[in-house]
Amino acid sequence: MAAGQGEGAGRRADRVTPTLHTARLTLRPRVADDAEALFPTMADAEAMRWWSYPPFTRVEDLRVHFGTAHPDWRAWAVTWRGEDRAIGFVAAGQRRAGVSEIGYLFDRATWGQGVAREALGALLDQLFAEGQRRVFADIDPDNTPSIGLVERLGFVLEGRLRAEWETHIGVRDTLIYGLLRDEWRA
């Protein structure tokens, strides 16, 4: 569970979602057509275990989900540089002025290759360059790969919210990890 939808304020996410580049990746605005490429991952029970909603069972439902506007969230499809097929996505939701929440999910074939870290690094660079002072992630306490990822990026455990989410796997606690702009620059 590292994503959600919420009400934002201040600098709104309905501004342009810029295309970002890293050494190996391109992060471009996610579109409904990315549903076909990402459906195997978002239908995978293991990959979706820690999300606040269950795996998708129909690509058409995922297409609608990707095509539905969430005014306080922006989402980027992550592709290999020079290709257009999505291998994952990152998202940022404006929670209040200067504060964004992030979410991410990647194809199992990319796990262990540093792809998520590289993509999130580009996203964090963008968010802090836009003036965010704080970025946070909301993660299930049993999601050790995601916890390890954000810790490697410099996020700090800020707290545990007990029985915060009622999900497809039951009522779950959540951990809040935060990163401040000055910490990212360091």
84-137 pLDDT per residue, tens: 999 999 999 999 999 999 999 999 999 999 999 999 999 999 999 999 999 999
pLDDT at 149: 97
Is the residue at 13 inside a domain? no
3-state secondary structure 8-42: CCCCCCCCCCCCEECCCEEEEECCHHHHHHHHHHH
Distance of CA 46 to the CA centre of its chain: 17
Are the CB atoms for 89 and 76 separated by under 8 Å?
yes
Say which CATH number the domain at 131 has.
3.40.630.30
Are the CB atoms for 88 and 123 separated by under 8 Å?
no
pLDDT at 7 over 60: no
23-69 pLDDT per residue, tens: 999 999 999 999 999 999 999 999 999 998 899 999 999 999 999 98
- Scanning the structure block, which residue is given the tokens 């999300």? 51
| Helix/strand/coil for 155 | coil
Q: pTM for the whole thing?
A: 0.90
Q: Domain residues for 181?
A: 20-185
Give the CA distances from residue 185 to residues 75, 118, 145, in Å, rounded to whole numbers and listed in that order.
23, 16, 24
Q: Which amino acid is at 38?
A: L
Question: Structural domain tally of the chain?
Answer: 1
